[in-house]
Amino acid sequence: MDKYVAVLHKDEASAYGAYFPDLVGCFAAGDTEDEALENLRVSLRIYAEDLAEEGRKMPPARSLHELLKDRPVKADIAKGGGLLVLVPLLVANKKRRVNITLEPSLIAAVDEAARIAGTNRSDYLASAAWRLVKQETGAVRMRPGPRKKAGRNPAKTAKTKVRESA
């Protein structure tokens, strides 16, 4: 898991701004800190997906110590009361079988919820895990391969997938 450092700042009479010093052109804004950071997570995912579509890799992330020596970063922190924020980038890879231990009643509840969602136990648990990882760590999930085309009817997608909120 790569962790990219973002700079979150606010100039007077403006919205909050956020950007990744290591990712040229990857930035976002929002009326609140939370909104700016959520928009930045979306921006990071799109940036990573665009590079993957072009067959390019993400640039390496610099450490906090390296970025604190960067003059433009230091200036943004000083002038706008900026903060450095770590944003993890998780890349969805090929699935791998794992064994877990759960209470029988929980297994039954998961199976029923998966059936109602139109999916299977593994996909349902993976979807729930991704949501919790995002909630707990602020991680961004990047799926390899082409992005969904605009105008595509989500009702016609495979029924074995659990729809996730962005």
The whole-number pLDDT of residue 7 equals: 92
From the centroid of its chain, how far is CA 84? 17
Which comes out higher in pLDDT, residue 106 or 95?
106
Helix (H, G, I), strand (E, B) or coil at 102: coil
C-alpha 40/C-alpha 46 separation (Å) is 10
DSSP per residue, 5-62: EEEEEE-TTS-EEEE-TTSTT-EEEESSHHHHHHHHHHHHHHHHHHHHHTT-PPPPPP
Tens-digit pLDDT profile for residues 98-108: 889 999 999 99
Q: Is the pTM of this model over 0.95?
A: no
Q: For the structural domain made of 2-156, what CATH number should be given? A: 3.30.160.250
Phi first, then psi: give them for residue 158, nearest 5 degrees. -55, 135
Domain boundaries, the chain: 2-156
